[in-house]
Amino acid sequence: MRLLIMGPPGVGKGTQAVGIAAHYGIPAISTGDIFRTNVKNQTPLGQEVSRIMADGGYVPDTITNAIVADRLTEADAAQGWLLDGYPRTSGQVDALDAELARTGQGLDAVISLVADTDVLVGRLLKRAELEGRDDDNADTIRHRMEIYTEATDPLLATYRSRDLLVEVDGIGAVDEVAGRITTALDAKLA
């Protein structure tokens, strides 16, 4: 099974990705985790990512596409995977499409966790308070939500037009949301 998971900040993508991957026996692959591991281990990629971020830049698609393509060749991904945090741009969608075509694979589904913005803002404000993140205020969080929506709406439209999109209510207890996801995926892939 080859899956993507998408959703706005605070909806619980990372938590759900781990559970979905365990349920289907596939690895959850987070581009953020890959970057953080490389930075922590000071690999050549990590050093380059650190330099880019220190200069206030975004890691270019060419680097992100290459690390994802490389990760998908690892043995644990041979029978499938779930990508969390990728693709984020139309260029990344094109790169993933090309990689899947090159390897004779295809996507099975794209999970989109949906939630009311006000609920997510409240959730993120609570998390910011618990973690002492003074930079996370309601205006900043709402701005991040707007950026996410602008960037992601075209990608969701692409996957909807390919009949791959599975929209799931992302609000509720972790187990509740997980149940909704597996029910929706099982129905989609039956």
Tell me which residues are annotated as active site: 13, 88, 127, 133, 144
Question: How far apart (Å, rounded) are the C-alpha atoms in residues 146 and 17?
Answer: 23
6 contacts 96 by C-beta, under 8 angstroms: no
Let me know if 17 is exposed, middle or buried by CB neighbors in 10 A (0-12, 13-18, 19+): buried
Question: How far apart (Å, rounded) are the C-alpha atoms in residues 80 and 118?
Answer: 35
3-state secondary structure of 35: helix
168 contacts 177 by C-beta, under 8 angstroms: yes
φ, ψ for residue 121, nearest 5 deg: -60, -45
Q: Which of 104, 107, 75, 79 is nearest to 93 (CA)?
A: 107
